[in-house]
């Protein structure tokens, strides 16, 4: 299969960027091992399981020759993640990409199989350092916040990958175009980008609001500001985003569940939470995680009008939610004198 044929198939399947990398060991393999050794993955234990396997495509697919790197634009020009400032990361305001990108990958997989290839497909849920292969494939370069950048999509795109036994002509890596810019580092509210190209999840608000289970440490609570799911600060700061154009994919349109008033979330029981966020990335946080975050945000930005809802939440059967509601009540009352 030629690169031109592959690009036509990928774009027909709904991808906005496509490139090919050789199925070599990931260039950042040693850095990844060091990052794990320092504990920068926090409680995300799955990242430390068989770490070398993530670095070698041939361990995921014997006989692998090429890695096809794909990008999908998810940008929607909506600066407000929710009513009264409750911010949800931009990627999570629409439909969960895990629910539909695999179908698009299967289109590519079938085309490769027709050429005699054997494939494995990944949408960031498999053990593969896909950013390294996106860089090798020439569809992006790595920014100093460790995210990858596309010259036309900026930072607002999802990555997917197909490992294949077919040998397809590889692309050429793009030059690093970040230069001396440090806006992403400067924008991080918790200094989680501890050095260029290195993020410590133990400081990252995306980790704390999405991946962490249980109560939030008190120093983190005030740093949360008005974020209830994820943090886009280092992405929003990138000057390359001035070239980003709105996605035409209806899957990424902002869902009503992302635009609720903060107090409304506190009335959700488990069934209500599941219904409200059916098909949304926010379900990953669970009811406990979301209501914990909402209570924390109300503690930071709420007013006396929020006291009644928080009072009800202080009696929640989930002790983590109740703890954060009580904390928020104290913060609001303290501000009110």
Q: Measured between alpha carbons, how far is 11 from 119 in angstroms, rounded to an integer?
A: 19
What are the E-state strand segments in 35-102? 66-73, 87-88
> How many angstroms separate the first and last alpha carbons of the chain?
70
Q: What is the CATH number of the domain that holds 266?
A: 1.25.10
Q: Compute mean pLDDT per 10 residues along the chain, 337 residues long, and list them.
A: 92 96 97 97 94 96 98 82 72 94 96 97 89 97 96 95 97 94 97 96 97 96 96 96 92 81 92 94 96 97 95 97 98 91
Q: Are residues 150 and 282 in the same domain?
A: no
Q: Are residues 270 and 156 in the same domain?
A: no
| C-beta separation of 279 from 95 below 8 A | yes
Active site residue 311: no
Assessment of whether the complete model's pTM goes beyond 0.75: yes
Q: Are residues 145 and 288 in the same domain?
A: no
Q: Are residues 8 and 153 in the same domain?
A: yes
Q: What is the DSSP string of 47-64?
A: GGSSHHHHH-HHHHSTT-
- What's the pLDDT tens digit per position in 269-303? 999 999 999 999 999 999 999 999 999 999 999 99
Instruction: Please indicate, yes or no, if residue 330 is contained in any of the structural domains.
Output: yes
Instruction: Please indicate, yes or no, if residue 234 is contained in any of the structural domains.
Output: no
pLDDT of res. 84 = 62
Q: Which of 146, 164, 182 is the last residue of a domain?
A: 164
Instruction: Please indicate, yes or no, if residue 292 is contained in any of the structural domains.
Output: yes
CA distances from residue 200 to 40, 188, 231 in whole angstroms, order as listed = 5, 12, 14
pLDDT of res. 257 = 73
Instruction: Please indicate, yes or no, if residue 158 is contained in any of the structural domains.
Output: yes
Q: Are residues 293 and 160 in the same domain?
A: no
The partner residues of 302 in beta bridges, in order of sequence, read none
Instruction: Please indicate, yes or no, if residue 228 is contained in any of the structural domains.
Output: no
Q: Which of 139, 164, 189 is the last residue of a domain?
A: 164
Number of structural domains (the chain) is 2
pLDDT of res. 85 = 58
Helices (H) and strands (E) in the chain, counts: 15, 10
Q: Are residues 156 and 9 in the same domain?
A: yes
pLDDT of res. 256 = 79
Instruction: Please indicate, yes or no, if residue 184 is contained in any of the structural domains.
Output: no
Instruction: Please indicate, yes or no, if residue 203 is contained in any of the structural domains.
Output: no
Name the residue range of residue 16's domain: 3-164
Q: Are residues 14 and 160 in the same domain?
A: yes
Catalytic residue among 16, 78, 80, 124: 124
Q: Are residues 153 and 267 in the same domain?
A: no
pLDDT of res. 81 = 43
Q: Are residues 18 and 137 in the same domain?
A: yes
pLDDT of res. 82 = 45
pLDDT of res. 212 = 97
Cα dihedral sign for 90, 100, 65, 58? Answer: positive
């Amino acid at each position: 299969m030629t690169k031109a044929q592959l690009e036509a198939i990928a774009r027909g399947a709904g991808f906005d960027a496509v490139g090919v990398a050789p199925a070599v060991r990931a260039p950042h393999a040693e850095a990844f091992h060091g990052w794990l050794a320092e504990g920068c993955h926090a409680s995300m234990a799955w990242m430390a399981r068989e770490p070398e396997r993530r670095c070698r495509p041939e361990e995921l697919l014997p006989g692998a020759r090429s890695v096809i790197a794909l990008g999908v634009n998810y940008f929607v020009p909506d600066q407000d993640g929710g009513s009264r400032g409750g911010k949800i990361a931009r990627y999570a305001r629409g439909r969960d990409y895990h629910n539909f990108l695999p179908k698009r990958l299967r289109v590519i997989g079938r085309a490769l199989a027709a050429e005699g290839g054997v494939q494995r497909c990944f949408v960031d849920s498999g053990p593969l350092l896909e950013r390294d292969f996106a860089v090798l494939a020439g569809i992006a370069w790595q920014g100093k916040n460790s995210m990858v950048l596309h010259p036309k999509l900026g930072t607002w795109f999802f990555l997917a990958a197909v490992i294949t036994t077919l040998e397809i002509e590889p692309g050429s890596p793009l030059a690093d175009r970040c230069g001396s810019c440090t806006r992403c580092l400067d924008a991080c509210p918790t200094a989680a980008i501890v050095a260029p190209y290195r993020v410590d999840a133990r400081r990252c608000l995306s980790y704390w609001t999405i991946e962490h289970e249980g109560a939030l440490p008190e120093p983190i609570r005030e740093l949360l500001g008005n974020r209830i799911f994820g943090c886009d600060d280092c992405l929003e700061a990138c000057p390359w985003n001035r070239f980003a154009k709105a996605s035409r994919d209806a899957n990424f349109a902002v869902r009503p569940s992302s635009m609720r008033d903060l107090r409304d979330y506190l009335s959700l029981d488990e069934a209500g939470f599941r219904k409200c966020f059916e098909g949304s990335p926010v379900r990953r946080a669970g009811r406990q995680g979301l209501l914990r975050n909402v209570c924390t945000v109300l503690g930071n930005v709420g007013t006396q009008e929020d006291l009644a809802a928080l009072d009800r939440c202080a009696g929640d059967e989930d002790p983590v939610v109740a703890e954060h509601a009580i904390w928020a009540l104290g913060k609001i009352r303290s501000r009110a004198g």
